Structure 1
């Protein structure tokens, strides 16, 4: 009897300039589908108020981070605003082999590295654009997390990040958070049905062929 074929997990990448909404959207997706595994990044930056080690990030010193990179333990890594960020490889490979999707909240450099890796056929990359530069700055200021100097640096970097939009599978303009969230859900639901994500389809088609030949012989 046919059963739903086990699918492979997707590597769902969300990228955007700071303030465009990717982190908020990532949290909403986790609420929508609790089975999603969030790829917890390692970083050398300082822990912010309210953050929890091993939940929001793995907070490590620079020496340990570089050691992990040198032995191939990072699926991707980048140097941003003087700090290192990276995605540990082991948990990701384990999750997708079990059919569990992994969600990444990373920049274009990390997305590019993963998209060019051995796992590239399982990648679903989505870039989030702000409705305007003015709105982007308003959101950064409204977060109350960064100094004016840091916000200025993030704004200067925003265009470089936006310029990589064409390297993604999907691009969404986040002018309405709820509407953007619904579009993300639709994209993920569709991509989960990719033929390449359903290895069990091959056996199912072979079963149909065998059944067809058996019926014709009788």
Structure 2
């Protein structure tokens, strides 16, 4: 008797499973199709990104290796194109190459490329902070006080490893303008930081003792 009941229960379960698949056949097939499409799309997109990265890398290497005065215009075109690709590695390196080799003299144009990196490219937090610092450094000689502060404020108001550098740049900026009280305030901020860059702190202390002591 118990064996008969067990067989009946087993048959009932099988019938329920069969009915479930029959009643939900379209949903099940749709789910499987969507999953397959998602996996294939993810694979294709990942392959595309890998190939795109390789293409940008090759373009950067070929461009920089071939650079000379004769190829200057072509070099600029290629590097600007790479910047606009918004690649976290090679867009940044392209701008640095342009600046280091003084390929573009227009300051506004260079600043627009800095803005692409800062605002549009997905960068590691401290890499982004370094780009911000480099933008400030690039503009320091000609910038107005308010403009330089606007650039550096994200670092000055943060706990970034580049905060010491930002404060030091502002301190030296004011010192060069003979605004010694403002300069002293920024140097003192470096001294009182919890985790300042040691070399920057040493230089700040020397400047305070040598040139800004009361």
Give TM class, smaller chain: under 0.3
- What is the TM-score of this pair, normalised by structure 2? 0.25
* Structure with greater proportional helix content: 2
Q: Which has the larger radius of gyration?
A: 2
Larger RCO (alpha carbons 8 Å, 6+ apart)? 1
Give the structure with the larger strand fraction. 1
